[in-house]
Structure 1
Amino acid sequence: MPSKKSARLAALTVAAVCSAASTVALTSPAHADTVAIHDIQGTTRLSPYAGRAVTGVAGIVTGVRAYGSSRGFWIQDPNPDADPATSEGVFVFTSSIPKVAVGDSVTVSGTVSEYVPAGTASGNQSVTEITKPTVTVVSSGNPVPAATVIDAKSVPGKYTPAGDAAAGNSVNGVTLRPKKYALDYYESLEGMNVQVADTRVVTATDPYTELWVTVKPRENATERGGTLYGSYTSQNTGRLQIQSLGATADFPVANVGDTLAGRTTGPLDYNQFGGYTLVANTLGTLKSGGLERETTRKQRTGELAVATYNVENLDPSDGTFEEHASAIVNNLKSPDIVSLEEIQDNNGATDDGTTAADVTVNKLIDAIVAAGGPTYDWRSIDPTNDTDGGEPGGNIRQVFLFNPKRVSFTDRAGGDATTAVGVKKEHGKAALTVSPGRIDPANTAWTSSRKPLAGEFVFRGRTVIVIANHLNSKGGDQALHAQYQPVVRSSEVQRHQQATLVNAFVKGLLKVQKDADVIALGDMNDFEFSDTTKILESHGALWSAIKSLPRSERYTYDYQGNQQVLDQILVSRSIKRSSDFEYDSVHINSEFHDQVSDHDPQVLRFEP
């Protein structure tokens, strides 16, 4: 999966230039209407005044955003109507630094607009705004309207209504039912002053000074303080993103399980980086939950330990080699085989045709030795330049590290970027035609994506075939909070094709040797309950071993308040049927603000 950093930078670029293109266009009458904020907001997601000029809209300033590409301020009517579906707040987009202050009583004239963060193609909901405003300050120092409390009692248990089929499954025109659906509830408060209190952090502070909390501490709670995303139908309604209108330096640096004690108060916004967001004027006080990084146990003499670890675009210029090495040695206890994903070429993002990654890999191996670990050997195949996706110029690929004192690699010549690995019978056992080799690399399923790397290993006389994967990312999927419900997960199409090819290859191995020890592991970019995983598992070829863990421990990634599975180790029948295999999702990154990768590594131990 592309790093959140690169995806976020791309989204920021889009946000800065697409304001006009992302506005829902409606016909504008010639006259201006004098209306109240709740009239502008209406009872659906789209304002009945969208595209129309309004005048004399009255309200109290509740928040001022003087930074970024969406400068402006929020106003709220201190005299609400009786309809809970109509918000009493609205954002006034100024583009330049606003000349108002919190507590100012103002009247605003301008044009009502529906702005879609990240553009209409994103499928996101829109934000009702007043644009091109003329602002009159009537008085200053007024009390801000009391914040609406968002808590476990106020947020409904159902996440979203179904979209209108006649409108392409959009919820935009569906009348809000804030007492029934969480997304309707949040929409009914869009632009209003809101408050949460004593909320638990469920996604750590990121580099963009934002974090996620839950107002429902018991909702799908994990043992370490997060919130589990366990199926498409069990959405976590209590999640809410927190940003701040204050100084960046004052934003809390939090880990999962910490608490924002006391009150956090400010306008409720909506953005492309997570949907509904409390943009705080007042932040609660950070209270540490004391979360510590996990350490797995060391494998026993007769156990083979196999791990997968996405090291997030690692190249020689990075300053994270010592930390990754320490994680492998101290937290993973030096597994016998480590499948690394996102190893970049020797000059990283420099796009000059370089594809070799020996400098990158050997720098990591040296760091592992310095950390007290073994001198790993390694195998990989350099990709054809700029064909495998990821950061442009980076040429990411999977790499096998293995401890030659514990396990040997069976080299079979002929593997390269374009040659397909096959299956053959050797001495009555399944073997690879080339090792290492790539699975069907010319197949269109792998266009702009990483090709699986297959390798043949021997441990204590037993052959184990390992397939390192990094399937197509989720880029392009609609967000859980999108206007289209159910959301469209367009990236699945290619990922399903890829899973079908991996499954077919494993079935070919098992046809030759039904009790072959086969492991397919890596960043699958999909959940353990997904159709991608079901395809990988089909016909009993493989089984995702993370499902051996209790549900509350099944996560490898933390995204927008949802702890979820992206990294998996799938095993063949012979391994699943053994009584001695053990799986561990080692939580060292995803829950922490100072993560060196956004993925947690996974370890499988078994006796071949």
Structure 2
Amino acid sequence: MSEFSFASINAANLGEWSDESRIDAFVTSMVTDLGAPLIIAIQEIGAAAMGDEPVKALVADTIIQKLAAHQWTYHYADIAPMPETTGGAENMNIRCGFLYRAPVELRSLQQIGTDSPFFIGSDELDCVASRLPLVGEFVYQNDVIYIINCHLKSMSLKNQTKKQAKKQRNQQSKVVAEFIEAHDLKAHPLIIAGDMNDTFNSKTVQAIAKIGFESVHAQLKYQIYTYKYQKKPILLDYILYNEHFTDVEGAIAHINTDPMNERRYSDHDPILMTGQLCSK
């Protein structure tokens, strides 16, 4: 068995436009609050488009440089989206990405839902474009690990669109679950993580959890939330893992949901998983 650590962070539209102090806070949190995990799934890392080409996340280079100043060598990977294809704020082109460090190696990246109307949008089904889940195939201590980084359809504050957003989100999670089954990913160490934008008992999260996953938050007893929705604490960010991980412990660093915290860099708190990776 091998020790393994992983975290998930919604970075809340972090991009090259972000203040340096905010990027510093993000990096410091990775190192101090999260203990420099082997792999980090990031949601809502963005960049402004400069033309009709795929939009590179320039802020990732800055993050890598600042991590190096902390004596940590990380690599960044994503699949850059075409302009205005991922929803969210105008010309921020948010996407899912990974940070990882040695001895972890990245073998491949692919996306889920590239032909699904529930991700790419459909006027007929009243669905808007949303972030594509990013599947990373990693190698660690001779084991292949799959991690699916999700940022599902955002909640809406308007009653008219809230129900439709939930329907789309439910369908998105079904697409992810079907991908897992179709590719027999549960035969390997597998983590599904990210901002699911719904509660644990919702159809959205359960569509994935019920096919054979535990949630890191089940290891916690108190303050189980990652977001304040209308000022009420709620759990929206998850790390779901399969039976290839044992002795799992979890933590949520309540940095960002406290508006008075000077180290705040997002509106979501990061969630952490540590444990043992076992080959089966």
Alignment of 1:528-607 (within 5 A): 528-538=200-210, 540-550=211-221, 552-575=222-245, 578=246, 580-593=247-260, 594=262, 595-607=264-276
Deviation at 1:592, TM superposition (A): 3.0
Deviation at 1:394, TM superposition (A): 1.2
Question: Is it true that 1:490 corresponds to 2:164 in the alignment?
Answer: yes
One-letter amino acid matched to 2:218: K
In structure 1, the partner of 2:136 is: 455
Determine the C-alpha separation between the residues in 2 that align with 1:499 and 1:603.
22
1:533-562 per-position Cα deviation (integer Å, ceiling 9, x unaligned): 111223x33332212222x33100112231
Aligned residues: 265
Query: Are the structure 2 counterparts of residues 379 and 311 from structure 1 closer, same or farther at C-alpha, using a change threshold of 3 Å?
Result: same
| Greater Cα radius of gyration, structure 1 or 2 | 1
1:142-167 per-position Cα deviation (integer Å, ceiling 9, x unaligned): xxxxxxxxxxxxxxxxxxxxxxxxxx
Determine the C-alpha separation between the residues in 1 that align with 2:104 and 2:153.
30
Deviation at 1:369, TM superposition (A): 1.7
Determine the C-alpha separation between the residues in 1 that align with 2:89 and 2:231.
25
Higher RCO (CA 8 Å, separation ≥ 6 residues): 2
One-letter amino acid matched to 1:603: L
Counting helix residues as a fraction of each chain, which structure ranks higher?
2
In structure 2, the partner of 1:329 is: 31
In structure 2, the partner of 1:468 is: 149
Out of 86, 89, 99, the residue aligned to residue 388 of structure 1 is 86
Whether the aligned pair in 1 keeps the contact of 2:40 and 2:100 (CA below 8 Å) is: yes
Alignment of 1:83-232 (within 5 A): none
Deviation at 1:598, TM superposition (A): 0.2
Determine the C-alpha separation between the residues in 2 that align with 1:457 and 1:497.
27
Question: Is it true that 1:437 corresponds to 2:110 in the alignment?
Answer: yes
Deviation at 1:492, TM superposition (A): 0.9
Out of 45, 68, 72, the residue aligned to residue 369 of structure 1 is 68
In structure 1, the partner of 2:124 is: none
Determine the C-alpha separation between the residues in 1 that align with 2:104 and 2:109.
15
- Superposition TM-score, scaled by structure 2 size: 0.88
1:103-131 per-position Cα deviation (integer Å, ceiling 9, x unaligned): xxxxxxxxxxxxxxxxxxxxxxxxxxxxx
Deviation at 1:589, TM superposition (A): 0.9
- Superposition TM-score, scaled by structure 1 size: 0.42
SS in 1 for 2:192: strand
One-letter amino acid matched to 1:491: A
Deviation at 1:367, TM superposition (A): 1.4
Question: Is it true that 1:507 corresponds to 2:204 in the alignment?
Answer: no
Deviation at 1:351, TM superposition (A): 6.7
Query: Are the structure 2 counterparts of residues 582 and 317 from structure 1 closer, same or farther at C-alpha, using a change threshold of 3 Å?
Result: same
* RMSD, aligned α-carbons: 2.1
Out of 327, 341, 344, the residue aligned to residue 46 of structure 2 is 344
One-letter amino acid matched to 1:496: N
Whether the aligned pair in 2 keeps the contact of 1:515 and 1:573 (CA below 8 Å) is: no
One-letter amino acid matched to 1:368: L
One-letter amino acid matched to 1:407: V
Structure 1, unmatched stretches of 5+, are: 1-300, 411-434, 480-486
SS in 2 for 1:389: coil
Whether the aligned pair in 2 keeps the contact of 1:322 and 1:368 (CA below 8 Å) is: no
SS in 2 for 1:547: helix
Whether the aligned pair in 1 keeps the contact of 2:15 and 2:57 (CA below 8 Å) is: no
Whether the aligned pair in 2 keeps the contact of 1:503 and 1:541 (CA below 8 Å) is: no
Determine the C-alpha separation between the residues in 2 that align with 1:366 and 1:354.
25
Deviation at 1:388, TM superposition (A): 0.8
Structure 2, unmatched stretches of 5+, are: 122-128
One-letter amino acid matched to 2:196: M
Percent identity at matched positions? Answer: 29
In structure 2, the partner of 1:478 is: 159
Whether the aligned pair in 1 keeps the contact of 2:110 and 2:134 (CA below 8 Å) is: yes
One-letter amino acid matched to 2:103: R
Whether the aligned pair in 1 keeps the contact of 2:55 and 2:82 (CA below 8 Å) is: no
1:293-327 per-position Cα deviation (integer Å, ceiling 9, x unaligned): xxxxxxxx931111111111111121111111111
One-letter amino acid matched to 1:534: Q
SS in 2 for 1:321: helix
SS in 1 for 2:58: helix
